[in-house]
């Protein structure tokens, strides 16, 4: 792979984003790790040879534009964009506040919009680009105690399908990965209770919780030419939970 392939991964300080960053680095990408949490993303980047890291809040368009402009003059324009930054906490519709609604929507979908708006133009200029957005099986079906999270992830799925239609003809592919339960801090609502986790694991085909590596491999496929005819797809990686 030519060294020119540059993958920017948001949420790279978190479990899934770090797994994706490591896998893509192994595939030969120059990886740019981005996260709001500077300490976490610095640690992850240090464990990935040749990678770079930047602290950035995906809900702040000005920070994204500043990073885009500085990358263009230094490392180069990302050829691949993976949006993994996201937040989840269980909630009840009747007690959820407007501030909480705005926070969840801003991080999970508005941030993705800002990132795509900033980084797709350079991909269009070269006629080659690849966007992979991380949704969730919660965006494909309803679930308990997560109405606004589900809405935000459902938005990711249709946002991605639509940009695949708009930018596919310009050489930019866009696809979604929809993880099921993956063993990261975000899954602690279930994984902290070992008994409940073991019971849950028995209900799915794979009989286990997923790993960040499982998602890294799915992203690796979508980032590669092996998926060159795949546009606007939602790749469910959930151990058969939706089967
Ligand atoms: N873990 C799961 O079971 C699971 C399942 C389905 C989907 N997902 C999705 O996968 C993605 C990654 O989740 P994870 O499990 O790695 O969670 P995580 O909490 O380990 O990582 C999320 C990362 O996003 C970063 N982040 C949060 N807000 C940000 C902001 N405003 N700007 C920049 N970075 C920000 C956090 O600092 C964190 O490092 C999320 O979009 C999540 O919704 C996770």
| % the chain with pLDDT above 90 | 98
Q: Tell me the per-residue pLDDT of 32-83, one tens digit each, with 9 for 90 and over.
A: 999 999 999 999 999 999 999 999 999 999 999 999 999 999 999 999 999 9
Q: Tell me the per-residue pLDDT of 98-126, one tens digit each, with 9 for 90 and over.
A: 999 999 999 999 999 999 999 999 999 99
Q: Tell me what the mean pLDDT of segment 218-234 comes to.
A: 98
Rounded Cα distance, 116 and 111, in Å: 9
Write down the catalytic residue from 29, 53, 114, 149.
Answer: 149
CATH of 6-183+212-235, one of 3.40.50.720, 3.75.10.20, 3.90.600.10, 3.40.800.20: 3.40.50.720
The residues spanned by each domain of the chain are 6-183+212-235
Read off φ and ψ for residue 175, nearest 5 degrees: -145, 165
Cα(169) to centroid(ligand 1), Å? 30
Best probe residue, ligand 1, of 58, 83, 85 (max atoms within 8 Å of C-beta): 85
């Amino acid at each position: 792979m030519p060294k020119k392939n540059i993958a920017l991964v948001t949420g790279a300080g978190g479990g899934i984003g770090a797994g994706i960053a490591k896998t893509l680095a192994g595939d030969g990408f120059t990886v740019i790790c981005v996260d709001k949490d500077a300490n976490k993303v610095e640690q992850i980047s240090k464990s990935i040879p040749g990678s770079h890291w930047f602290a950035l809040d995906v809900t702040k368009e000005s920070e994204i534009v500043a990073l885009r402009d500085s990358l263009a003059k230094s490392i180069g324009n990302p050829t691949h964009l993976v949006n993994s930054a996201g937040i989840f906490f269980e909630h009840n519709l009747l007690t959820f506040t407007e501030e909480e609604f705005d926070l969840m929507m801003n991080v999970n979908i508005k941030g993705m919009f800002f990132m795509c708006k900033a980084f797709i133009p350079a991909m269009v200029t070269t006629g080659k680009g690849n966007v992979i957005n991380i949704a969730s099986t919660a965006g494909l079906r309803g679930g308990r105690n997560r109405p606004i999270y589900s809405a935000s992830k459902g938005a990711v799925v249709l946002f991605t399908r639509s940009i695949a239609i708009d930018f596919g003809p310009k050489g930019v592919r866009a696809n979604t990965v929809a993880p099921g339960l993956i063993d990261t801090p975000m899954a602690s609502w279930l994984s902290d209770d070992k008994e409940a986790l073991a019971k849950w694991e028995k209900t799915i085909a794979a009989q286990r919780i997923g790993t960040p590596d499982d998602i890294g491999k799915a992203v690796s496929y979508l980032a590669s030419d092996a998926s060159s005819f795949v546009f606007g797809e939602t790749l469910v990686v959930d151990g058969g939970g939706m089967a």
